[in-house]
Amino acid sequence: MKGTYFLGNGEFEVRDMEFAPLKAGEVLVKVAACGVCGTDVHIYHGDKGSAEVVPPVVLGHELSGVVVQTGPDVDLVAVSDHVAVDPNIYCGSCRSCRMGHKQTCSHLTAIGVNRDGGFAEYCVVPQSQCFRIKPEIPLEYAAMAEPVSCCVHGIDRIGIRPGSTVCVIGGGAIGLIMVQLARLAGAASVVMSEPNPIRRQIALELGADAAVDPVHEDLAVRYQELTGICGADYVIECVGNTTAVAQAFRAAGDCGTVLLFSVPRAGTFHQLSLDDIFHKELTVTGSLINPDTFDRAAALINEGRIDFKPIITHAFPIGQLKEAIRMQMSDESVKVIVKPELEVPVRIQ
């Protein structure tokens, strides 16, 4: 059993893994696929994840696989079940948890962040973190349950209403999932803002009504030309830089809502136009991980409501994790996954 350990300072090492006998409520999952997330990129560069990272640790928190062994008192899943794994484990006793805000848990632990995760052949997880996926669903798609669950929480935060207008800024995997969820929530129109022409085309294929190149076009002006409306009801920012944030505020219409969904680099600041917030009466909100939304994400995947085929573009073996992260950072990819069964990288799209 092998896993790729993050050693800090951007370094990884494949090591043999040994697992203690399973404790009550634990299961052993044979990992089928694990997504490379923007959080992994941040950790690679020395930033924290959803919780503090203490190397050496096996990263990878977007994982799916097959249950191959169960410990005592396991009754939620069984051997041979296909599962997606919710990585976030809350203490249940801190003030945030007791107030119903577990996403800000003071003692949060996360599989693939500060507990060994999915960039390995096998992973031990509590049964409570496992959600069944239908056997006919590709396990690569099941690995997308964690990002979908985070996006569902973001959609919940802003409360998209049927007939409303939406602008999504950033056409990476998250933005492309947001396009589809906005449609499912009843948006009358969805406009994508993305400089990469390949990602703009994918957004159109997945349900966006129009796609804007924000490098060569003024997003706010172009949005009004396309929709006849001076600003969107909801703007979802999925990039994580100050340029995109500025575009989000300009693209928001009167009484609009701006969701700053992306994970920014630590220490990133943006100057807000308080006058715009006041006169437009804007609502600005953030979104953190996935409290109580994983079951709904699994349901969306099980029922085929999210299309991942054009989103997952590359797959790498666990021994080439640094290369997988660098590919995820490039304009060539949309979503990169790691598959332990692979011996060489594969371009899927």
* Residue 313 DSSP SS3: strand
Same-domain status, 108 and 165 = no
Strand-pair partners of 70:
27
Same-domain status, 185 and 116 = no
Same-domain status, 269 and 158 = yes
Q: What is the pLDDT of residue 301?
A: 98
Class of residue 283 by CB neighbours under 10 A (exposed 0-12, middle 13-18, buried 19+): middle
Strand-pair partners of 69:
28
Query: Could you tell me the CATH number of the domain that includes residue 183?
Result: 3.40.50.720
pTM of the prediction? 0.97
User: E strands along 145-291, which residues?
Assistant: 165-169, 189-193, 210-212, 232-237, 252-260, 283-286
In a domain, 114, yes or no: yes
Question: How many structural domains comprise the chain?
Answer: 2
Name the pLDDT band for 349 (thresholds 50, 70, 90): confident
Helix (H) or strand (E) holding 131: strand 130-132
pLDDT in tens, 109-159: 999 999 999 999 999 999 999 999 999 999 999 999 999 999 999 999 999
Q: What is the pLDDT of residue 48?
A: 74
Same-domain status, 61 and 114 = yes
Q: What is the pLDDT of residue 297?
A: 98
Strand-pair partners of 284:
258
Q: Is the pLDDT of residue 108 over 70?
A: yes
pLDDT in tens, 36-86: 999 999 999 888 766 789 999 999 999 999 999 999 999 999 999 999 999
Which domain does 329 fall in, by range? 2-144+308-347
Same-domain status, 155 and 259 = yes
In a domain, 293, yes or no: no
DSSP 75-124: -S--TT-EEEE--EE--S-SHHHHTT-GGG-TT-EEBTTTB--SSBSEEE
Cα–Cα distance between 347 and 114 in angstroms, integer? 30
Same-domain status, 18 and 134 = yes
pLDDT in tens, 6-45: 999 999 999 999 999 999 999 999 999 999 999 999 999 8
Cα–Cα distance between 58 and 68 in angstroms, integer? 20
Same-domain status, 178 and 212 = yes
297 touches 149 (CB < 8 A)? yes
In a domain, 303, yes or no: no
232 touches 256 (CB < 8 A)? yes
Cα–Cα distance between 131 and 137 in angstroms, integer? 13
Q: Is the pLDDT of residue 271 over 80?
A: yes
Cα–Cα distance between 116 and 138 in angstroms, integer? 24
In a domain, 297, yes or no: no
